[in-house]
C-alpha cells in the first residue's frame, strides 16, 4: 500500500524533474551555436538488474532519485564475503541501472545532439528511447554517443536515457574501483556543421619567456545534407582573460558528410609561462563561421611551457633543471568513494604540495578530466597512465578480457581528451605488465600503443612502469629502449645501472618506496629525473586480509592527515624551513603499550612512529625521539631544559635523541644561520574534556564540488588531543547544509560513511559538509561526557 507521504514524495519528485526539464529545454533553445548542459540531476537508480529497463515505458517509479556523480558501492556494507575481496576493500559489486527523462525543444530537431560520459564503472551499455547506443567495458575512459535520429522533440514528448553498469564479475581490480555513473555527464547540442569532438589541439613549436608560437589545429565536420564553406576565427585569451592574440583562418569548402582540417600558428610576445609556482593558463577560443553566422565555438585551456628529459641531467621545465618529486594516486577519495568532489582533491593536493610534492602519477588509469584541470591550475606535473594489465590477467575479470578489442580505442580517446593539459608531461602505457616475460608478445603490443600515443599527440614522451626488467630482460631484448623515457618500479640500483650501461637512456622512477636510500638515489644522480612514491595517500582496497579495508602506504592517511613519514618526506622535499618531532616505538611494544595502535595500524609500514608525547606508560622510561627537519641545526628541549642541538646530516638521516620520559612539553627549534626559523612541540595529554572543531575552509560553493572538512578532536582541558580517545562523535547541521560523509583514519573501520556519527580514532574523526544553498551553516559535534564544539560555514 502506498502511503500519503510516499505519494507526496513522488509528486514533488515529478515537479522537480519537470522544472529541470523546462530549464534544460530553455537552455538548449536559447544558445545560438554550441550548448553544453550539465546532465547530472534528475536520474533514477536501481541497485539490481532490471531486464527491459532500457524501454522508455518501463516503470521506474520505485527507483531511487540520485544526482550524479554517483558511486553506489561506497554505501557498503563492508563484508568479508563480498566478491570484490580485499582488493576491492570488501565493498559490494553488481549491476546498477540509471534512467533519466528529458525533453528537447522543436528547434533542436535540426541540430546534432550528443551525450558525454566522463566515466561509468564498468561494462556500460547506454540506450536512448530503447535504441542501443553502445558498450564501453573500461570504466575509466570518457566517451560520447550521438543521440541524433533517436530523439523526440517538443515539451510533451519525453526522451529516456538509460544506462546499465555491470561490475558483477569479480575480482576485477587490484584496488577499489567504485560502481555506477561515478563521473559527470553532459548533453551537447550543435549545428550540423561543428567542431569535431576533442579535435582542437594546441601545441607550442616555441615556448620561451621572450615569445611563444602557439599552433592551433582542429577539424570541422559537416553533418548536413549540403556542402558548406566555413572559416575559422581564433582568439588567444591570456591568464587575465584579455585577448593576447588573434587570427583568421581562410575559408574552406566542407562536403556534405565530410570534414576539413584547419591549422594556424599565432605568435605571442612575452608570454606568462606555465610553471609549478605560477601555473599561468591561457585559452584558445575557436569559432567556426559560415558567412556572418557563428556555427560553433569552444574554448580550450592550455599553458605555455617547454619541457624535456635529458639523459645526462634529467628533467627540465622552462630552462630550469628540477627533480620530479611525485606520488602515485588511486582515484578514490576515501569516504566519498570514486565519486570525488573537486574540493576533496584540492585539499589533498594542497597538503601534498606542503610536503614538497610536485607531480602526480594517475595510478593506474585515466582520471576524471576535472582532476587534470585542477593539476593545471595548481601547478602539478602529471604522468597520465592507461592500464594495469594488457593480455595477461592479474584478476579473472580485469581488463585483459577486453584489451585486444578496446585498448587502442581507449588510448586514442584518452589522449585526444587529455592532450591540451599543460600538467601532463608523460603518458604511461601500463603498470607492471605481466606480458613482458614474453618479449615477442609484449614488444608487439607496446609498439602498437606507442604508435597510438604518438599519432594522437606527437609532443609528449611515452613511458611504462617496468616490472622486474632484469628478470624479463627488458633492458637486453629491446623492449625498454622502445620507450621515449624508461620507467621502472622500485629497484633504483637497476635503472641506474641500465643508464650506466647505455648513457643515452632517459630514466624516471615510476613507483618507489619511501625510504631514505630511495631518496638519495634520486638526489645524488643527475640522470635520474624523478620518482613517484607508492603512495601519496592511503586508498580503498588492496587489503591482504579482513578486517583491513584500506591500503596504508601514503604520506597522508585517507582522511588527508599528514603521517609521520610524510613529515620526513617534507624534510627532504620542501624548501620551506620545517621541523617535526615523532617518537619511534618498537612494533611489539607499540602493540602492547601505545594508544591507537590497533589492527589497522599494524598494517602500516612505519606506524610505530607517533607524533604525540602521551605514551600509555607515564612512568620512568626512555623514549626514542626522532626529529625531521631541513634546518641547519635543531635543538630539543624537555620542559624548558635543553637536550642538546644537532646539525643537519649530509645523508638526510633524522636527528635522534634518547629521552628519559617526563610529562610536559617536548619542543624542537630549527635554526638557520643561528636564527630560529621553525618550531614544533608536543604536550602530554590529560583526561578527555571536550571536542574542538577545525575547518579546512569556511566558505563553500552550493554545488556538487563544494565540500568543507570538519575535523573533530577530543582534547583535554588544555586543548591537547587525547590519542587514545575513541568515543562516538555525533555531528549535527543546521542551516542550508548537510553531512555528505563521516570518517576516521582507521584502516580497519567498518562503520558506514553515509552517516552523521563516527567513532574517533587516535582522538580524531571528520565530517564532510556540503551546502544546499547560500547561507550560514552551523556544525556541532558532541560526545557523551564531553563539552560540545561548533563551527560556522558560509555557503555561497
Comparing C-alpha atoms, which of 293, 73, 334, 78 is closest to residue 192? 293
> Counting runs of H as helices and runs of E as strands, what totals does the chain give?
11, 48
Element (H, E) at 660: strand 655-660
Cβ-based neighbours of 206, under 8 Å, separated by 6 or more: 212, 213
CA pair distance 748, 546, nearest whole angstrom: 8
CA pair distance 78, 750, nearest whole angstrom: 6
Edge-first strand order for the sheet with 131-136 is 64-66, 43-46, 95-102, 159-166, 124-128, 131-136
Edge-first strand order for the sheet with 579-584 is 609-610, 579-584, 622-629, 655-660
CA pair distance 682, 680, nearest whole angstrom: 7
- Number of C-alpha atoms within 13 angstroms, CB side, residue 39? 27
Q: 560 has which bridge partners?
A: none
For the chain, how long is the longest CA-to-CA vector? 91
- Number of C-alpha atoms within 13 angstroms, CB side, residue 172? 25
Please say if 432 is a catalytic residue. Answer: yes
CA pair distance 456, 665, nearest whole angstrom: 59
The rounded radius of gyration (Å) of the Cα atoms in the chain is 28
Please say if 626 is a catalytic residue. Answer: no
Distance, C-alpha 31 to centroid of its chain: 32
Residue 190, helix vs strand vs coil: strand
**Interstrand relation of 424-431 and 381-385 (parallel, antiparallel or unpaired):** parallel
Give 318: exposed, middle or buried? Use CB within 10 Å, 0-12, 13-18, 19+: middle
> Cell triple for residue 207?
615556448
> Cell triple for residue 72?
553506489
User: Which residue has cell 582515484?
Assistant: 331
Element (H, E) at 409: helix 403-418
CA pair distance 259, 221, nearest whole angstrom: 4
Catalytically annotated residue among 511, 607, 626, 757:
511
**Residue 244 CA: distances (Å) to CA of 234, 249, 285, 297:** 11, 17, 11, 18
Catalytically annotated residue among 54, 297, 298, 432:
432
DSSP sequence for 240-263: TSSEEEEEEEEEEEE-TT-EEEEE
CA pair distance 403, 418, nearest whole angstrom: 21
Comparing C-alpha atoms, which of 792, 239, 330, 285 is closest to residue 537? 330
**Interstrand relation of 655-660 and 622-629 (parallel, antiparallel or unpaired):** antiparallel
CA pair distance 253, 678, nearest whole angstrom: 67
Distance, C-alpha 659 to centroid of its chain: 41
DSSP sequence for 2-39: --HHHHHHHHHHHHHHHHHHHHHHHHHHH-SS-EEEE-
> Cell triple for residue 435?
606480458
Cα torsion 742, 747, 751, 755 to 10°: value is 10
Cβ-based neighbours of 704, under 8 Å, separated by 6 or more: 40, 67, 69, 341
DSSP state of 393: -
- Residue 665's CB: how many other CB atoms inside 10 A? 15
Give 583: exposed, middle or buried? Use CB within 10 Å, 0-12, 13-18, 19+: buried
CA pair distance 107, 30, nearest whole angstrom: 10
CB-based contact 119:182 (threshold 8 Å): yes
Catalytic residues: 432, 511
Amino acid at each position: 500500500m502506498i502511503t500519503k507521504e510516499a505519494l507526496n514524495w513522488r509528486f514533488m519528485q515529478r515537479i522537480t524533474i519537470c522544472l529541470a526539464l523546462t530549464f534544460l529545454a530553455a537552455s538548449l533553445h536559447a544558445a545560438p551555436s554550441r550548448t553544453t548542459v550539465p546532465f547530472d540531476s534528475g536520474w533514477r537508480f536501481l541497485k539490481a538488474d532490471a531486464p527491459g529497463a532500457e524501454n522508455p515505458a518501463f516503470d521506474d517509479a520505485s527507483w531511487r532519485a540520485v544526482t550524479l556523480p554517483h558511486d553506489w558501492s561506497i554505501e557498503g556494507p563492508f563484508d568479508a564475503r563480498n566478491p570484490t575481496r580485499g582488493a576491492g576493500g570488501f565493498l559490494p559489486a553488481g549491476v546498477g541501472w540509471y534512467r533519466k527523462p528529458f525533453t528537447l525543444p522543436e528547434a533542436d530537431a535540426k541540430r546534432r545532439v550528443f551525450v558525454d560520459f566522463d566515466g561509468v564503472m564498468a561494462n556500460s551499455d547506454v540506450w536512448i528511447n530503447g535504441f542501443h547506443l553502445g558498450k564501453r567495458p573500461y570504466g575509466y575512459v570518457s566517451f560520447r554517443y550521438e543521440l541524433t535520429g533517436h530523439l523526440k522533440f517538443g515539451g510533451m514528448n519525453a526522451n529516456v536515457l538509460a544506462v546499465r553498469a555491470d561490475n558483477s564479475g569479480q575480482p576485477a581490480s587490484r584496488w577499489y574501483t567504485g560502481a555506477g555513473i561515478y563521473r559527470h555527464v553532459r548533453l551537447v547540442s550543435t549545428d550540423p556543421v561543428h567542431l569535431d569532438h576533442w579535435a582542437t589541439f594546441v601545441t607550442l613549436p616555441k615556448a620561451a619567456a621572450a615569445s611563444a608560437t602557439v599552433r592551433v589545429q582542429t577539424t570541422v565536420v559537416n553533418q548536413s545534407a549540403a556542402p558548406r564553406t566555413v572559416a575559422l576565427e581564433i582568439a588567444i585569451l591570456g591568464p587575465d582573460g584579455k585577448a593576447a592574440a588573434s587570427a583568421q583562418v581562410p575559408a574552406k569548402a566542407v562536403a556534405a558528410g565530410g570534414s576539413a582540417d584547419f591549422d594556424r600558428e599565432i605568435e605571442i610576445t612575452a608570454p606568462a609561462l606555465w610553471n609549478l609556482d605560477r601555473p599561468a593558463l591561457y585559452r584558445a577560443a575557436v569559432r567556426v563561421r559560415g558567412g556572418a553566422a557563428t556555427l560553433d565555438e569552444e574554448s580550450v585551456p592550455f599553458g605555455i611551457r617547454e619541457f624535456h628529459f635529458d639523459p645526462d641531467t634529467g628533467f627540465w621545465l622552462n630552462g630550469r633543471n628540477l627533480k620530479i618529486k611525485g606520488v602515485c594516486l588511486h582515484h578514490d577519495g576515501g569516504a566519498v568513494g570514486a565519486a570525488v568532489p573537486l574540493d576533496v582533491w584540492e585539499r589533498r593536493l594542497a597538503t601534498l604540495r606542503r610536503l614538497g610534492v610536485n607531480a602526480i602519477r594517475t595510478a593506474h588509469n585515466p582520471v576524471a578530466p576535472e582532476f587534470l584541470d585542477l593539476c593545471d591550475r595548481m601547478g602539478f606535473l602529471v604522468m597520465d597512465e592507461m592500464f594495469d594489465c594488457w593480455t595477461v590477467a592479474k584478476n579473472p575479470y580485469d581488463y585483459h578480457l577486453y584489451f585486444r578489442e578496446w585498448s587502442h580505442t581507449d588510448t586514442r580517446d584518452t589522449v585526444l581528451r587529455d592532450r591540451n593539459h599543460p600538467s601532463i608531461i608523460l603518458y604511461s602505457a601500463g603498470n607492471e605488465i605481466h606480458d613482458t616475460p614474453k618479449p615477442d608478445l609484449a614488444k608487439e603490443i607496446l609498439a602498437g600503443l606507442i604508435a597510438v600515443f604518438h599519432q594522437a599527440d606527437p609532443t609528449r614522451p611515452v613511458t611504462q612502469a617496468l616490472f622486474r626488467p632484469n628478470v624479463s630482460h627488458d633492458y637486453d631484448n629491446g623492449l625498454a629502449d622502445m620507450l621515449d623515457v624508461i620507467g621502472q618500479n622500485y629497484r633504483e640500483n637497476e635503472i641506474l645501472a641500465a643508464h650506466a650501461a647505455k648513457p643515452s637512456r632517459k630514466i624516471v622512477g615510476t613507483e618507489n618506496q619511501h625510504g631514505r636510500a630511495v631518496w638519495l638515489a634520486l638526489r645524488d644522480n643527475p640522470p635520474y629525473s624523478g620518482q613517484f612514491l607508492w603512495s601519496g595517500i592511503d586508498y580503498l582496497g588492496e587489503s591482504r586480509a579482513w578486517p583491513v579495508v584500506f591500503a596504508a602506504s601514503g604520506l597522508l592517511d585517507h582522511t588527508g592527515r599528514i603521517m609521520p613519514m610524510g613529515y620526513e618526506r617534507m624534510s627532504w622535499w620542501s624548501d620551506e624551513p620545517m621541523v617535526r618531532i615523532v617518537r619511534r616505538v618498537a612494533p611489539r611494544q607499540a602493540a602492547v603499550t601505545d594508544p591507537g595502535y590497533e589492527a589497522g595500524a599494524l598494517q602500516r609500514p612505519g606506524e610505530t612512529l607517533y607524533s604525540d608525547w602521551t605514551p600509555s606508560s607515564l612512568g620512568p622510561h626512555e623514549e626514542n625521539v626522532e626529529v625531521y627537519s631541513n634546518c641547519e641545526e635543531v635543538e630539543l628541549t624537555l620542559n624548558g631544559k635543553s637536550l642538546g642541538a644537532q646539525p643537519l646530516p649530509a645523508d638526510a638521516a633524522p636527528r635522534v635523541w634518547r629521552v628519559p620520559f617526563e610529562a610536559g612539553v617536548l619542543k624542537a627549534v630549527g635554526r638557520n644561520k643561528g636564527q630560529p626559523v621553525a618550531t614544533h612541540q608536543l604536550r602530554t595529554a590529560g583526561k578527555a574534556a571536550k571536542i574542538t572543531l577545525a575547518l579546512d575552509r569556511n566558505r563553500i560553493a552550493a554545488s556538487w564540488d563544494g565540500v568543507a572538512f570538519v575535523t573533530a578532536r577530543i582534547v583535554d582541558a588544555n586543548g591537547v588531543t587525547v590519542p587514545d580517545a575513541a568515543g562516538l562523535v555525533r555531528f549535527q547541521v543546521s542551516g542550508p547544509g548537510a553531512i555528505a560523509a563521516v570518517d576516521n583514519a582507521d584502516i580497519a573501520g567498518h562503520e558506514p560513511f553515509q552517516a552523521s556519527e563516527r567513532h574517533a580514532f587516535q582522538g580524531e574523526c571528520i565530517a564532510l559538509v556540503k551546502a544546499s544553498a547560500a547561507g550560514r551553516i552551523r556544525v556541532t559535534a558532541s560526545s557523551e561526557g564531553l563539552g560540545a564544539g561548533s563551527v560556522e560555514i558560509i555557503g555561497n
